[in-house]
Amino acid sequence: MSLTEQFWSASLEELKQGFCEREHDYVCLLCGQEVEKGIIYPVGDRLFDAAKYMDHHIEEAHVSVFDHLSRLDKRITGLSDHQSNLLRLFYQGMSDQEVQAALGIGSASTIRNHRFALKEKERQAKVFLVMMELLKASSKKTAAKATAPAGGRQREAELAVSPAEYSEIVSKYFPDGTLGPLSRFPRKHKHRLVVLQEIAKRFDPERVYSEKEVNAVLQDVYADHVTLRRSLIDHSFLERTAGGSEYWVTNRKSGEEQENQMNRKQELKQLYKEMKTEAGVYQIRNTQNGKVWIEATRNLKTMNGKQFMLKHGSHPCKALQEDWKQYGEDAFAFEVLEVLEKKNDPYFDEADALEKLENKWLDKLQPYGEKGYNEMKKR
């Protein structure tokens, strides 16, 4: 059972609830299922908002976060099969006598010893987490001291590219301009630094950001915003507190340079605000067998997120995921079928209009059975 990078980068509170919040949706940390905000989801005779529906999804698909985590591989949990079984019975509220009867081992005092051993493991885990947090904080301080004299000049030396080459790299990875999305994350160190430097320009050097605000900026750049955030930190374009609650731009300039940079940031912020989020319907088309998956979304940029899910084996459509595994990434095309035309009307219901647009394309293409991956909706 594989876990995504998003799972490992989530906070303890997010892991406990089993999902995290993004700008336009919620994503299940256990399987990658996405639930868009602003939509009311019917479940039987009840209506759920997105957050409540995600709770329902976890209960239906995973029983509970505890149950799902307790069944992960022992290499991930650090627990033996016997310890995992004990924890599941304890979670059900069983007494020592009831656990002993259920497992048919030892006596009630044996079960009490197991409880004590698990408590010891919990205390050890707390100490280890604190030590790792202190180690990371110490490493950041050491790195800052080592690079402090050189500052931005050291990074410029690492880049060592001419203006023409810099422009060529930027055009390669930002085909729609530096305010547009990143086409892919570079492997070459030099190219990566150029890309990260451009991305870092989207942050105001005079402002302190929360992790949620950093994610909101980076999600519009690239689907795997966690990798971008970590790379910006690793390459010292951004710094953060030990707990990750505050982020800021590493190098702050002064005087005329700072003023020019601030003006540029204000310009970028204004352009960013003016960028419109487009809703619509898209398809994932298998170019080998012609089958398609059709889906509506309030933000067409989330297509990149669906591609990321398929790459990590967490797409909710099992048939599509199996074909992705069989045919490979190059066999699939991601195509926008129609952009939703938003009306300047106070009574315009975007969610309803988007559903009708999706139904239109489902009726037109009939992506069911041998023709597609969708399941027939009950209307």
* Beta-carbon contacts of residue 378 (< 8 Å; ≥ 6 apart): none
Residue 78 one-letter amino acid: G
Q: What is the pLDDT of residues 20-59, one digit of tens each?
A: 988 788 999 988 888 898 888 888 888 999 999 999 999 9
Domain with CATH 3.40.1440.10 in the chain: 280-371
Q: Residue 255's pLDDT is what?
A: 43
pLDDT digits (tens, 9 = 90+) for 314-352: 888 999 999 999 999 999 999 999 999 888 887 888 889
pLDDT at 314: 81
CA 305 to each of CA 24, 56, 130, 153, 314: distance values in angstroms, whole numbers, following the listed order: 12, 22, 33, 36, 11
Domain 280-371 adopts which CATH fold? GIY-YIG endonuclease (3.40.1440)
Please give the DSSP secondary-structure letter assigned to residue 237: S
- pLDDT of 261 reads 53
Low-confidence ranges of the chain (pLDDT < 70): 1-4, 140-160, 251-276, 379
Could you report the per-residue pLDDT of 208-239, keeping only the tens digit for each?
A: 899 999 999 999 899 988 989 999 998 888 99
pLDDT for 325: 93
